[in-house]
Amino acid sequence: MISWMAWTLPVAVFFSVIACILICMTVYEVRSPCVERRGFLPIATTRGDRLFIGLLSSAYVHLVFLGLTDLNLWIPLALSVIWLAVILRWG
Amino acid sequence: MNKTENNKAWFLVLPVFVLVAFSAVIPLMTVVNYSVQDIFDQNNAYFVGAEWFREVLRDPRLHDSLLRQFIYSFAVLAIEIPLGIGVALMMPTKGRMASLCLILLAIPLLIPWNVVGTIWQIFGRGDIGLFGAALNGLGIDYNYASNPADAWATVLLIDVWHWTSLVALLCYSGLRAIPEAFYQAAEIDRASKWAVFRYIQLPRLKSVLVIGVLLRFMDSFMIYTEPFVLTGGGPGNSTTFLSQTLTKMAVGQFDLGPAAAFSLVYFLIVLLVSWLFFTTITHMDKAK
Amino acid sequence: MKMSKRKTLGISLYILFVLVPIYWLLNMSFKTNEEILSSLTLWPQHFTLANYEVIFSDPSWYSGYINSMLYVSMNVVITLLVALPAAYAFSRYRFVGDKHLFFWLLTNRMAPPAVFLLPFFQLYSSVGLFDTHIAVALAHCLFNVPLAVWILEGFMSGVPREIDETAYIDGYSFPRFFVRIFLPMIRSGIGVTAFFTFMFSWVELLLARTLTSVEAKPIAAIMTRTVGAAGIDWGVLSAAGALTIIPGLLVIWFVRNHVAKGFALGRV
């Protein structure tokens, strides 16, 4: 039943992490609803918006590293995590 | 309109969520899985990490078809949106003629995509098709099968023929939503035709135009069937858009890994463009 | 007056542009293959109904129409059933993740179909739905449901909230209010949505072809079959193409007044 999905460990980890983030954000949101505010991003954003922007830009960071350099992928990953934290806090 | 805060609304959304998640998330996960493996058949797959992404990102074929795709989608929007608004403005507002126009305009939308390609395949031929023959008769050397520029223009023309009606129908229903009083007020103010359009009609059209632009962008960005039927991507690579390249890889050569990586990159591009567009529009709304 | 003449001229020209290729399709469907391929003729020299005869006498042809109609109608019904409450929720309430959910729904129109075909095929095979009408209907929901929610939400936002509130004060329960009062108010919106879902499901080929083999094969997929050893049977192909327009014409005929009347709500 599941075998055709050709699961691999890293992909499974990836989707679990995304699912965890979404669940945590939802719980956090229900516990303490956030207000829209203006950070260093040019538009006013909610927490969810910042998460989306962070994730999408992280994806592009990975693509840039893959496309232009031969560096190990742990580097963009580390960068992305830092970037995500920054954008969630100050974005 | 101010909405009330109510998380029970989730129960109303749940059916949609489950339905779409079933057909969207599971295949998406599978495609991500494909993109990190070298797949020979059901039982022979090897983990290759990000190798396919690295390969497709440096593949000149991707760059070329991406560029062609952007130019094409931009051309589609630049022609179809103004033309669609124009057609909607010219349509009769009431009576039998209005219904008749609506029905006639809607016809191209209702033709299966491969039939559209088939029609134009003959229609555009210089020897036996009216369109090709007419162009040749006017002294234009037109042959979509051998001249890349002609092929490209033909695919564009087909798209305009096929989809402008969608924009026109959306705008038409948007225009009908404008209360008569607005026009009367404009008449009292002796507003010019242009002012009526600019300050009354256009703002009211915005919501339908957002739908129109996004739909046309997304759909033209993955145009597949018409160029496939018409030219098969040729001559040369002139009408090989992203979907063609992708399908050749996935189905033709069974390179599932690279094709999956490619389509994820492609998905990210559409996601970014649509999100930018969507956010800009909604924030312009708020700024007012 | 002068303006309206220019308008009439403009719209006539555009409609002419729309209709000429369709005329060409009809024209071809009444010709023999020799005539189609030998010369340019503006109307059939040897008028023939043979192409249509082929379609109506061969079950493998006309069953395609029945299959397409079946899954398209299923799709329209399913789409409307799930999209109506969801659109109401989006137009009336704020809830956790509403905007993101809305955008996520839209993103499903963006996935390039080519690579998703294989997972789709395997997904529906693994739940035992391969080659059934319902499989195609469900798969088409992927791009039709977001669109339906989107269009309906626009129509529903046009209905003033006061109507909901008055109904609740009058003692209507939510389901009763929704079916008895709210749906009739947005029926033009439902008509327009039904038209669009019908249209996109009717014309889609790739998914429908992948998810079916014999039992539920759609007409558009059968048409690709005519590309056979003896070349393409253009006459039959155009006859089949001409017939694919008819169901759509019927649907647009039914909703024409809804579109023409427009969002009558704006005038209330």
| Cβ pairs bridging A and C (under 8 Å) | 17
Q: Residue B4: beta bridge partners? A: C93
Contacts of C201 by beta carbon, 8 Å cutoff, 6+ apart:
C71, C72, C75, C76, C137, C140, C144
Between A77 and C206, the more confident residue is: A77
Q: Whose structure tokens read 């009908």?
A: B176
Q: Chains with ≥3 Cβ pairs under 8 A against C?
A: A, B
pLDDT digit string, tens, across residues C112-141: 676 677 788 888 888 888 888 888 898 888
Query: Which of C100, C101, C117, C129 should one mutate to test binding to chain A, selecting the residue with the greatest count of A CBs within 10 A?
Result: C100
| CB burial string B243-253: b at 16+ within 10 A, e below | bbbbbbbbbee
ipTM entry: 0.85
Q: Whose structure tokens read 């329209």?
A: C76
Asked if residue C263 lies in contact with residue B177, where contact means CB atoms within 8 angstroms, the answer is: yes
Asked if residue C140 lies in contact with residue C71, where contact means CB atoms within 8 angstroms, the answer is: yes
Give the model's pLDDT for residue B286: 66
Between C37 and C9, the more confident residue is: C9
| Reported confidence tier of residue B284, pLDDT bands at 50, 70, 90 | confident
Domains of chain C: 1-48 (no CATH), 59-267 (1.10.3720.10)
Q: Is the pLDDT of residue B70 over 80?
A: yes
> Identity (one letter) of the amino acid at C247?
P
pLDDT digit string, tens, across residues C211-261: 887 777 887 777 766 555 556 777 888 888 888 888 888 888 887 777 655
Asked if residue C261 lies in contact with residue C188, where contact means CB atoms within 8 angstroms, the answer is: yes
| Domains of chain B, residue spans | 61-287
Distance separating alpha carbons of residues A57 and A88, to the nearest angstrom: 13
| Reported confidence tier of residue C99, pLDDT bands at 50, 70, 90 | confident
Q: Whose structure tokens read 């449901």?
A: C145
Contacts of C113 by beta carbon, 8 Å cutoff, 6+ apart:
B222, B224, B243, C206, C207
Helices C133-157/C113-126 angle, 10° precision: 120
Residue B235: is the preceding peptide bond cis (ω within 30°)?
A: yes
Helices B148-176/B202-221 angle, 10° precision: 140
Structurally, at CATH architecture level, domain B61-287 sits in Orthogonal Bundle (1.10)
Contacts from A36-41 at CB under 8 Å and sequence distance 24+?
A39/A90, A39/A91, A40/A90, A40/A91, A41/A87, A41/A91
Q: Is the pLDDT of residue C266 over 70?
A: no
Closest-CA distance, C77 to chain A, in angstroms, reads: 29
Percentage of residues of chain C with pLDDT beyond 70: 91
Contact C85 B12 (CB under 8 A): yes
| CB burial string C24-61: b at 16+ within 10 A, e below | bbbbbbbbbbebbbeeeeeebeeeeeebbebbeeeeeb
Query: What is the average pLDDT value for chain B, to the nearest integer?
Result: 81
Contact A14 B37 (CB under 8 A): no
Nearest C-alpha in C relative to B259: C115
Instruction: Domain count for chain A, please give it.
Output: 1
Give the model's pLDDT for residue C265: 38
Q: What is the DSSP-derived secondary structure letter of residue A4?
A: G
Neighboring chain B residues of C158 at a CB cutoff of 8 Å = 177
Structural domain harbouring A67: 3-90
Helix (H) or strand (E) holding B47: strand B44-47
Q: Whose structure tokens read 């829209």?
A: A36
Closest-CA distance, B266 to chain A, in angstroms, reads: 11
Q: Which of residues 36-95 of B touch A (CB under 8 A)?
A: 36-37, 39, 42, 45, 47, 49-50, 53-54, 57-58
Distance separating alpha carbons of residues B83 and A88, to the nearest angstrom: 43
Average pLDDT over residues B60-72: 83
Asked if residue B274 lies in contact with residue B210, where contact means CB atoms within 8 angstroms, the answer is: no
Please choose, from the candidates A62, A61, A32, A60, the residue with its C-alpha nearest in 3D space to the C-alpha of residue A46: A32
Distance separating alpha carbons of residues C187 and B242, to the nearest angstrom: 39
Query: Which of C116, C126, C127 should one mutate to test binding to chain A, selecting the residue with the greatest count of A CBs within 10 A?
Result: C126
A36 vs C: CB within 8 A: no
Q: Whose structure tokens read 């007419």?
A: B134
Query: What is the average pLDDT value for chain C, to the nearest integer?
Result: 81
Q: Chains with ≥3 Cβ pairs under 8 A against A?
A: B, C
